[in-house]
Chains A and B, each alone.
Chain A
Amino acid sequence: MADKIFRVNMTDLSTSIEDVPADWAGHGGRGLTSTIVAAEVPPTCHPLGPNNKLIFAPGLLSGTTASNSGRISCGSKSPLTGTIKESNSGGTSAQRLARMGCKALIIEGQPQDDNWYSLSLTSDGITISKEEELVGQGNFAVVEAVERRFTDKIGILSIGQTGEMQMSAANISVKDPDSHLRSLGRGGLGAVMGSKKIKFIALDAGDHKVDIADPDAFKAANKTFTKALVDHPVSQALGTYGTNVLVNIINEAGGLPTRNFTAGQFDGHEQISGETMHDLIVERGGKPKHGCHQGCVIQCSQIYNDLKGNYKTSGIEYESIWAMGADCTVDDLDQIAEMDHILDDIGIDTIETAVAFGVAMEGGVLDFGDSKEMIRIMTDEIAKGTPLGRIIGNGAANVGKTYGVTRVPVVKNQAIPAYDPRAIKGIGITYATSTQGADHTMGYTIATEILGVGGSADPLSKEGQVELSRNLQIATAAIDSTGMCLFIAFAALDNGACLPALVDMLNARFGISLTAADVTNLGMSILKTEHAFNQAAGFTNLDDRLPEFFATESIPPHDAIWDFSGEEIDAFWNF
């Protein structure tokens, strides 16, 4: 069964199943969503208007037995940044889409009336239905109801109340194997789904399987690849402590942004650390180790229970804990887990929202460390769409403008995550030059600057950082196209057998003969496609800059400032 493009037009409520254009055949995941956005979305369109499109694509290896290949990409023009956007997530949707033969789902147009809708996809086609019952509901209620209507095997993509209200920080939830949630987190893609008036998308792949051109070669390559992942010590640490193992090391390095980016170390770091979280999870009968998708051999997710031993949240990431914790000076993991659960339910990005709270705290809206008031605002204001709720739900930059705060940590309007670019300079190059606004996952220089994976670089020196960020951004764009979790990169950077095995799997899946150089070229061409879209949307090199305060306010303990010139940053694009 050849893969197809599934298309939905929400203006006239029509659907079609189309052959894959030759130009798109070699793409998957991010490469495909960005290629389609570049081909079909007018760069100057309003992100929430009828001319923007929302595209979902499984990775090239999603739906196969390849370890860690269950990432789904979602692309669009972002209502938060105004740039092209790709956000990816685990969960069960990538595998469902790939197995039903859907190479990409393109949602275009906009209903002319006030009705809400749902989509249901099978290998036979797409059904559009009016939706009334679940409008106004949070994501957990949506998952429960949709599973009742279909089966508990159904894949689900959904938005919460914030997506319905088209807040710029709204995300799209992806059901995980335990009917909990992962998120297509950044850039306001939930608002785009809300603008199309789609509450949820149900994905039923039936018993279909993905075709493999050379099953024996695929199996052999997957064995080598899996061994490289399992053997790498970073994978083992991720399975024990989750990504939150980073709190203590980033704090020790003086790069943990604290109290709205005014210090690089947080007194309460130990209370919110991965080590403390691991002990609490074990003590309360949760699971320190958990996969966000079937086939994950790293298992960095976890099940976090409350004091009474009942489920509270899962897959709580370092960046979320940092944002609600150090950045807002909250040192209580239970309060952070409660907030994580609420934000997942109402469907809004934890990083953007918590950084927005940090700016609001500086603006005097609430006190630093007041997690009770944060929870009240999330529940009574953001979820209900009050004026204050909308101010925060539209992101950190919006809060800064509203309350006259100048220390606003954003690039292209997207909140800077958990690594201070003054004390860890390479990541600042990634924030500045990423095609999607500030995003650590676009080129994770932390691996080399702090963790000593893939070589080493002095985080307080500018030397080699532009090249490091460039190489990682190119490699990441390629990895994001395969459906692979980015955490394969730790093994890929250190183990020479890992990447060739990944290329072998691509070749065995499709019966092609890619080389490692082809994969690098793919990464370069994706970045250039995304960059060209942004330029056509009106962005220039002057948008590739960090906020002024990073150059004028030094951060303790290293008293570091951001000291890259514009010319040095712009050299990033010399490839």
Chain B
Amino acid sequence: MRVQVKLFAFFREGRFIKEERELPEGCTVGEVVDALHIDREEVGVLMLNSRHCQFDTNLHGGDIIAIFPVIGGG
């Protein structure tokens, strides 16, 4: 299945901003994070199709994942 992955802040360094990736059926958000060699401890927010999600959330074809480090502002 094809999934769009978006990275933000310093997660982009040496990686990418946005990429289409071919993934096996039943893949989880956490497995995408691991495959990108992003330390789960550094992840602040995960979103799937603009809703917050968890590492164990299952993916489906056409999904959009956004992976953010711990960030803040205001």
A-to-B contact residues, CB < 8 Å: 233-234, 237-238, 240-246, 248-249, 252-254, 270, 274-275, 300, 318, 440-441, 444, 446-447, 450-453, 456, 458-460, 486-487, 490, 557-558
Task: Please give, as numbers and ranges, the residues of chain A lying within 8 Å of B6 by CB-CB distance.
Answer: 252
B-to-A contact residues, CB < 8 Å: 6, 8-10, 12, 17, 42, 44-45, 47, 50-52, 66, 68-74
Task: Please give, as numbers and ranges, the residues of chain A lying within 8 Å of B42 by CB-CB distance.
Answer: 233
Whether A237 pairs with B70 at a CB distance below 8 angstroms is yes
Cα A252 to Cα B45 in complex, Å, equals 11
User: What's the minimum C-beta distance from B10 to chain A, rounded to whole angstroms?
Assistant: 7
Cα A196 to Cα B64 in complex, Å, equals 55
List 5 A-B residue pairs with CB atoms under 8 Å apart, sorted by A's residue number: A234-B70, A245-B73, A440-B74, A451-B45, A459-B52
Whether A456 pairs with B71 at a CB distance below 8 angstroms is no
Task: Please give, as numbers and ranges, the residues of chain A lying within 8 Å of B74 by CB-CB distance.
Answer: 243, 246, 318, 440-441, 444, 446-447, 486-487
Whether B73 pairs with A248 at a CB distance below 8 angstroms is no
Cα A440 to Cα B74 in complex, Å, equals 8
Q: Given the known A-B contacts A254-B50, A274-B9, are A238 and B45 also in contact in the complex, defined by CB atoms under 8 Å?
A: no
Task: Please give, as numbers and ranges, the residues of chain A lying within 8 Å of B68 by CB-CB distance.
Answer: 249, 252
Among A238, A270, A558, contact of B72 (Cβ-Cβ < 8 Å) = A238
Whether B69 pairs with A233 at a CB distance below 8 angstroms is yes
Complex: chain A residue closest to B71, CB-CB: A237
Whether B50 pairs with A246 at a CB distance below 8 angstroms is no
Task: Please give, as numbers and ranges, the residues of chain A lying within 8 Å of B69 by CB-CB distance.
Answer: 233, 237
Cα A242 to Cα B72 in complex, Å, equals 9
Whether A248 pairs with B50 at a CB distance below 8 angstroms is no
Complex: chain A residue closest to B72, CB-CB: A234
Whether A487 pairs with B72 at a CB distance below 8 angstroms is yes
Task: Please give, as numbers and ranges, the residues of chain A lying within 8 Å of B45 by CB-CB distance.
Answer: 249, 450-452
Task: Please give, as numbers and ranges, the residues of chain B lying within 8 Å of A246 by CB-CB distance.
Answer: 71, 73-74
Whether B8 pairs with A275 at a CB distance below 8 angstroms is yes
User: What's the minimum C-beta distance from B52 to chain A, rounded to whole angstroms?
Assistant: 7
Among A233, A300, A558, contact of B73 (Cβ-Cβ < 8 Å) = A300
Cα A159 to Cα B52 in complex, Å, equals 43
Cα A300 to Cα B73 in complex, Å, equals 9
Whether B9 pairs with A237 at a CB distance below 8 angstroms is yes
Cα A477 to Cα B6 in complex, Å, equals 37
Residue of B42, B71, B74 ringed by the most chain A CB atoms within 10 A: B74
Complex: chain B residue closest to A449, CB-CB: B52
Whether A238 pairs with B73 at a CB distance below 8 angstroms is yes
Complex: chain A residue closest to B12, CB-CB: A275
Task: Please give, as numbers and ranges, the residues of chain A lying within 8 Å of B47 by CB-CB distance.
Answer: 252-253
Q: Given the known A-B contacts A275-B9, A557-B50, are A244 and B73 also in contact in the complex, defined by CB atoms under 8 Å?
A: yes
User: What's the minimum C-beta distance from B35 to chain A, rounded to whole angstroms?
Assistant: 20
Q: Given the known A-B contacts A241-B9, A249-B45, A452-B44, are A447 and B52 also in contact in the complex, defined by CB atoms under 8 Å?
A: no
User: What's the minimum C-beta distance from A319 to chain B, rounded to whole angstroms?
Assistant: 8
Cα A254 to Cα B6 in complex, Å, equals 15
Complex: chain B residue closest to A234, CB-CB: B72
User: What's the minimum C-beta distance from B68 to chain A, rounded to whole angstroms?
Assistant: 6
Task: Please give, as numbers and ranges, the residues of chain A lying within 8 Å of B8 by CB-CB distance.
Answer: 248-249, 252, 275
User: What's the minimum C-beta distance from A292 to chain B, rounded to whole angstroms?
Assistant: 14
Task: Please give, as numbers and ranges, the residues of chain A lying within 8 Å of B44 by CB-CB distance.
Answer: 233, 451-452
Residue of A243, A249, A275 ringed by the most chain B CB atoms within 10 A: A249
Cα A456 to Cα B46 in complex, Å, equals 12
Cα A249 to Cα B52 in complex, Å, equals 11
Cα A450 to Cα B52 in complex, Å, equals 8
